[in-house]
Amino acid sequence: MAALDQLTLADIVTSQVVTVTPDCAVETAVRRMVEQHVSCLLVLENGRPVGILTERDVVCLAHDGIAPTTSLRGLMGAPVVTATADLDFRSGHLLLMQHGIRHLVVVDALDNLVGIVSESDFRGHLGRDVYERLQNLDSVTESGNILLAPDTPLSVALAQMVASKLEYVIVAEQGHPLGILTERDLPRLLATHPEPAALPLREVMSAPLLSIPVGTSVGVAVERMAASRVRHMAVLGAAGDIVGVVSQHRLLEQLGVLLLEESHAHLETRLQWLLEATGVGTWEYDHASGRLNCSGTLCAMLHGEPTVGEFSNWLRRLLAADQSEATYCSADFRLPGNRDTRDDARWISLRGQTTRHDAAGQPLLSAGIAIDVSGAKRLRRDLEDERARLRTLVRTIPDLIWLKDTEGVYLDCNPMFERFVGLGEADIVGKTDYDFVERELADSFREHDRKAILTDGPSVNEEWVVFADDGHRALLETIKLPMRDAEGRLVGVLGIARDITANRQYQEQLASQIAELRRWQDATLGREMRILELKREVNALLAEHGQLPRYGSAETRGKGQ
């Protein structure tokens, strides 16, 4: 048998489930329960479980005198409680206890039927050693049972069972048990007797009633019930009189409490291990005494008794700041020492809550966790520094820079872009180009945005625009790039525009000068000798007037001179 902690519902589920439809008649359903020897029928509609008919339901039907031809649609238990096959054994058993049911419908991830787990399935997969954890038989013995005389009509017994929500009544004479009537007997009675309500209990009871003496161990009692395939067993005193009944339901109920306590202890152990493994410290603060209890992990973070005292005083002041019933504290504590050195500063992040108050609403006990966040603080500081540098860079660059989402809505921009629009960043973010420029230009902007997204690369274009702040006209060379986050998801479009007006003017001026030179070249081509003669004549005239020559000898030197 697998260990209890390793069991899941898949290990104990009964896959052979007897099913009916909601339109099935009561008499047909009861007959099927008897023929198939099952304690319940699952009601399916379109392949999905929509209800359940149990032996307990049959008791109520018999007591209410429901017509045999009535359909189950309005009588079945609905909705059904379901669980997936991978649910662990303890959680499945707890689910039964929480809902007060004895059958758990098991489904797959798509809600398709896998099978049913009953209390008997749970009992059958628990070893004797598990039941021996129950200290004695008294803890699982139901006393004060309803004892009815053998001549009592079945209708009276049914009324008692329904009124007190009993799964059985004991048939006894002078305190000595003769037999038992259980929920399991009712389907058989309805199937074999057209009018069973008037029958005396001596004719319908199950007899003899399995019994054990007081003082028998729980493990032995469970083994006897399993061997006899019964759910109830009488506990007899020394004189043979009945002192109580051990039932399967009571056994599992008490065992469930024990397993739940063990689960809690196991969970606390695992939680403590997890906290220690992940470096999470825990603390409790008693407001009345001022005493602080720290886990070993937290003490190690605090590095000694003086720091613990300082931390305790800081925590006391923190909790005293707000003493409402829902006090929740969240703060960071800087460890003493190295207060002037940013890189060596050590921090503890504390989270906690006041968990107990007195009648006047004053706090009695607070508890929480503590985490060393020194590395996170440094990382956050470095990240903030990097962001500040990047933002300074972006705001200092003379180019226009902006970011839009995929729908063209502005997410961010720099001061030069603010000058272009004529508005501050706060008035730009959240709006589109259509809020700032003419539709034709806005259409052009959006077209280039889409081009960058579709090509998944840079889109370059030139645009003449007018700056709204001073009205000057400028030629911009714009580069647009798709922006993606760390996981590769498209965030939007990044735009960078540079004013190339001066460059364009220089290029145009240079082209004009080149054209002028070409015209001069064309005009002077083939006239070099005449120019030399003119230069000599100018020099001669200057000499006659006692002035220095304007042109050097190299400029006037011709052929043969």
Angle, helices 218-228 vs 248-277, to 10°: value is: 120
Query: Topology of 278-379 in CATH?
Result: Beta-Lactamase (3.30.450)
What confidence score (pLDDT) does residue 498 get? 92
Asked if domains 4-124 and 397-503 share a fold, the reply is no
- Number of Cβ atoms within 10 Å of the Cβ of 326: 8
Query: Candidates 2.60.40.1760, 3.10.20.30, 3.10.580.10, 3.10.20.600; correct CATH number of 4-124?
Result: 3.10.580.10
- Report DSSP letters for 16-63, one per residue: ---EE-TT-BHHHHHHHHHHHT-SEEEEEETTEEEEEEEHHHHHHHHH
What confidence score (pLDDT) does residue 559 get? 44
H or E segment and range at residue 179: strand 176-182
Residue 273 C-beta-side C-alpha neighbours within 13 Å:
6
211 and 180 in contact (C-beta within 8 Å)? no
What confidence score (pLDDT) does residue 556 get? 60
Of the candidates 90, 80, 88, 91, the residue with the CA atom closest to the CA atom of residue 116: 80
- Number of Cβ atoms within 10 Å of the Cβ of 305: 9
- Check if CATH label 3.20.20.110 holds for domain 397-503: no
Main-chain dihedrals φ then ψ at residue 106, nearest 5 degrees: -100, 130
What string of pLDDT tens digits covers the 561 residues of the chain? 456 667 888 888 988 899 999 999 999 999 999 999 998 999 998 888 899 999 999 989 888 888 889 999 989 988 889 999 888 887 888 888 888 888 999 988 887 889 999 888 887 777 656 666 666 777 788 887 788 999 999 999 999 989 988 888 999 988 888 999 998 888 888 888 877 888 899 998 988 888 889 888 888 888 888 888 888 888 888 888 888 888 888 777 777 666 656 666 666 666 677 777 778 888 888 888 888 888 888 888 887 667 777 888 888 888 877 555 556 778 888 887 655 455 567 888 888 888 888 888 788 888 888 888 888 888 888 888 888 888 888 888 889 999 999 999 999 999 999 999 999 999 999 999 999 888 998 998 899 999 999 988 888 988 899 999 889 999 999 999 999 988 888 989 999 999 998 888 888 888 888 877 777 666 666 666 767 777 788 888 878 778 888 877 766 665 444
Radius of gyration of the chain (CA): 47
Beta bridge partners of 494: 403, 481
Residue 299 Cα distances to 74, 81, 135, 289, angstroms:
63, 47, 40, 20
The dihedral sign for the CA sequence 163, 168, 172, 175:
negative
Q: Is 206 exposed, middle or buried (0-12, 13-18, 19+ CB in 10 A)?
A: middle
Of the candidates 332, 352, 334, the residue with the CA atom closest to the CA atom of residue 283: 352
- Number of Cβ atoms within 10 Å of the Cβ of 190: 23
Domain boundaries 128-255, CATH class: alpha beta
What confidence score (pLDDT) does residue 94 get? 82
241 is written with which tokens?
A: 């009189």
42 is written with which tokens?
A: 């699952």
361 is written with which tokens?
A: 């609403």
Q: Where are the domains of the chain?
A: 4-124, 128-255, 278-379, 397-503, 528-561
410 and 403 in contact (C-beta within 8 Å)? yes
Instruction: Classify strands 147-148 and 168-173 as parallel, antiparallel or unpaired.
Output: parallel
Beta bridge partners of 348: 333, 372
First-to-last CA distance in the chain? 126
Q: What is the DSSP letter of 183?
A: T
49 vs 240: CA distance, rounded Å: 47
**HEC per residue, 397-466:** CCCEEEEEECCCCEEEECHHHHHHHCCCHHHHCCCCHHHCCCHHHHHHHHHHHHHHHHHCCCEEEEEEEE
Q: Long-range contacts made by residues 99-102, C-beta under 8 angstroms, separation at least 24?
A: 102/39, 102/54, 102/56, 102/249
Stated pTM of the model: 0.49
What confidence score (pLDDT) does residue 43 get? 93
Lateral strand order in the sheet of 48-54: 19-20, 40-45, 48-54
138 vs 131: CA distance, rounded Å: 13
What confidence score (pLDDT) does residue 401 get? 93
Helix runs in 177-304, H state only: 185-192, 201-204, 218-228, 248-277, 296-302
242 vs 210: CA distance, rounded Å: 11
243 vs 545: CA distance, rounded Å: 156
554 is written with which tokens?
A: 């190299």
Instruction: Report how far Cα 509 is from the mean position of its chain's Cα atoms.
Output: 66
Token pair 């798709």 is found at 482
